[in-house]
């Protein structure tokens, strides 16, 4: 996932002298910025198992039955994960002003 944004603002104001004794003003401003980000996720997992079952049935002389059951299970698992994140940002700003007064 990545994203970026850029913005720029610029303005300029100028006043021209109309008559002797007037002043001139000028200003300029600009700004810009950018950003980006990334994310990476890796996951690995494994499960292994073994199951066994033993059953024995005995019948008694009177007709009743008894069942003997033996169960065994073994499970083994492993997992590993990796996460990486990175980001970057930059910004710049510039400004300039000029004033001039003319008197005669």
Domain membership of residue 53 (yes or no) is yes
The predicted model gives 51-75 an average pLDDT of 87
Q: Quote the pTM value.
A: 0.36
**Residue 59: CA atoms inside 13 Å, Cβ hemisphere, count?**
1
Question: Is 2 domain-assigned?
Answer: no
Q: How many residues does the chain have?
A: 104
Parent domain of 80: 7-101
Residue with tokens 């007064």: 101
User: 1 lies in a domain?
Assistant: no
Whether 3 shows a pLDDT value over 60: the answer reads: no
| DSSP letter assigned to residue 61 | T
Number of domains in the chain: 1
Average pLDDT over residues 68-94: 89
Q: CA 39, CA 2: separation in Å to the nearest integer?
A: 8
The rounded mean pLDDT for the chain is: 79
Q: What is the pLDDT of residue 21?
A: 64
């Amino acid at each position: 996932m990545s994203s970026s944004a850029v913005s720029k603002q610029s303005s300029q104001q100028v006043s021209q002298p109309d008559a002797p004794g007037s002043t001139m003003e000028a200003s300029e401003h600009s700004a810009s910025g950018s950003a980006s980000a990334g994310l990476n996720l890796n996951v690995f997992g494994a499960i292994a198992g073994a199951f066994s079952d033993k059953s024995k049935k005995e019948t008694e002389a009177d007709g009743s039955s008894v069942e003997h059951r033996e169960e065994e299970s073994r499970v083994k698992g492993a997992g590993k994960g990796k996460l990486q994140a990175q980001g970057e940002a930059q910004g710049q700003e510039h400004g300039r002003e000029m004033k001039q007064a003319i008197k005669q």
